[in-house]
A and B are shown apart, each in its own frame.
Chain A
Amino acid sequence: MRKSREVPLTLLAAAAVASIGCHDQPRHCVDGQNRLQPDASCQLPAGGFHYVYGGSSGGHYGDAVVGASVSRGGFGGSGEAAGGEGGE
């Protein structure tokens, strides 16, 4: 036989749609120097903009965001720009 003897599923069967974790810290869109930028900049597929979570700033574009050493959003979004998913 060249078929699997069994294909038990636990996680997959439970994951009608895989749920990816989220968190509730405030986020700020920043440039490569950690300066506050319009949120729309982080929707662009390139340009070095990304989100940082936590921390605070003066609230004006260009202000430094301090107290947030962890940045997120530096990966992802290229599929939207390319019009497809990452799988092939």
Chain B
Amino acid sequence: MRRHSVTPRKGWQKSVERVGLTYHTLDDGTPYWDESAYWEFSSAEIDRLEAATAEIQRLALAAGDAILTRNWLGRMQIPENAWAAIRATWHSEPPALYGRLDLAYDGRQIKLLEYNADTPTGLVEAAVAQWYWLEELFPRADQFNSLHEKLVAKWKDLLPYVSQPVYFSHDGADEDAMTIAYLQDTAQQAGLKTEALGMRKIGWDSDTGQFVDLKGKAIETLFKLYPWEWLLKEAFGAHALKTMNAASQKPVAGKVQWIEPVWKMLWSNKALLAILWELNPDHELLLPAYLDGPAKMRNYVRKPLLGREGAGVSIFRNWAWAEGAPAPDPTAQPVSASGGFVYQALASMAQADGRTAVFGSWLVDGEPAGMGLRESEGMITTNTSRFVPHLFR
């Protein structure tokens, strides 16, 4: 693989805005969508990334079974009030759509960094903006990116299993708004009726005991770009559990299908990394990872179990803090927002031109579906890490 430096398209901002990437520039004025470079891969390299993604998905499915069979939900610090719903939805397999594995790949080894299974973003960039970039600049080249087709196909598959309209909700700014608009677009292209409804606008009708839209119509299928760990702590969290359609794949009157389903809490929790390592020690696609400390690792990353966008992540080299969240007070017990951390070995990453790249490998319906690259000046991918397009020949 190789990173090429190139001159961005004249008026690239307008080009990407036209296809939904309105958040192309960071607050400091530097580009978030960075087409001053692109990554080129061989077909064989893409084959390896695709196969690795499928294999990690297989491991994650087995890990989910093991977590529930061995009652490890407490180890993952998942709130006890959600356990029954997680078990029920894991077994009933209600509609689920997508996820993104973050991978380290240095040209030799591929390693799982984490699984963003509940609320992955970077989708408009990966599925849409880099596709249009490729069509305009390198129409003869290929790209690991069939996200759009696979999303539309998955929604078509879900037609008999959802209630219409399907509501699409978020509570964020531009990136979340455009991600949800894009997912709503793919559902509409599949023939589904859809409606947008902000998370704060979701109503609870105490007379009927149902969630309702702005017209008072009962909500039965809702796609949320909003983390389960937040949702369950909020005022309506208990209603969400009580009225969840947890036992059936198909709509049930008065109950709500949540997409992604609540069992995704098993995979979006970074304790999964330690459990995967425990179940598959020395697997070539996994990094050593532990829940109770760094064990014998000299160089490692400490991640909050429920951190997002690199928040709270610290890197330690030779056991000493090196980058990321502030150095901990050595006399105090570390505390994360979720109350726990996972300690994962430091991976060998792709580095070029002073940047470190993370490979976001997408899954739709559990199948590999495409890839997006984020570059950082340090080792930690944050919400300011730049998206750089790719192609392969």
> Which residues of A are at the interface with B, using a C-beta cutoff of 8 A?
1-13, 15-23, 32, 45-46, 48-50, 53, 69-79, 82-88
Contact A69 B233 (CB under 8 A): no
| B contacts with A: majority SS | mixed
With A4-B145, A23-B214 in contact, is A11–B200 under 8 Å at CB?
no
A39–B193 alpha-carbon span in the complex (Å): 35
Chain A residue with the shortest CB-CB distance to B117? A88
* Most B Cβ at <10 Å: residue of A1, A3, A23, A79: A3
In the assembled complex, how far is the CB of residue B341 from the closest CB belonging to chain A, in whole angstroms? 17
Q: Is B203 an interface residue (CB 8 A)?
A: yes
Chain B residue with the shortest CB-CB distance to A83? B311
Residues of B within 8 A of A9 (CB): 19-20, 128, 182, 185
Q: Is B314 an interface residue (CB 8 A)?
A: no
Q: Is B212 an interface residue (CB 8 A)?
A: yes
In the assembled complex, how far is the CB of residue B137 from the closest CB belonging to chain A, in whole angstroms? 13
Residue among A5, A16, A50, A72 making CB contact with B17, cutoff 8 Å: A16
Chain A residue with the shortest CB-CB distance to B143? A3
Q: Is B120 an interface residue (CB 8 A)?
A: yes
Contact A15 B203 (CB under 8 A): no
Contact B227 A86 (CB under 8 A): yes
Contact B149 A87 (CB under 8 A): no
Residues of B within 8 A of A3 (CB): 131, 134, 142-146
Q: Is B239 an interface residue (CB 8 A)?
A: yes
Contact A74 B204 (CB under 8 A): yes
Contact B197 A21 (CB under 8 A): yes
Contact B120 A87 (CB under 8 A): yes
Contact B124 A88 (CB under 8 A): no
Contact A85 B175 (CB under 8 A): yes
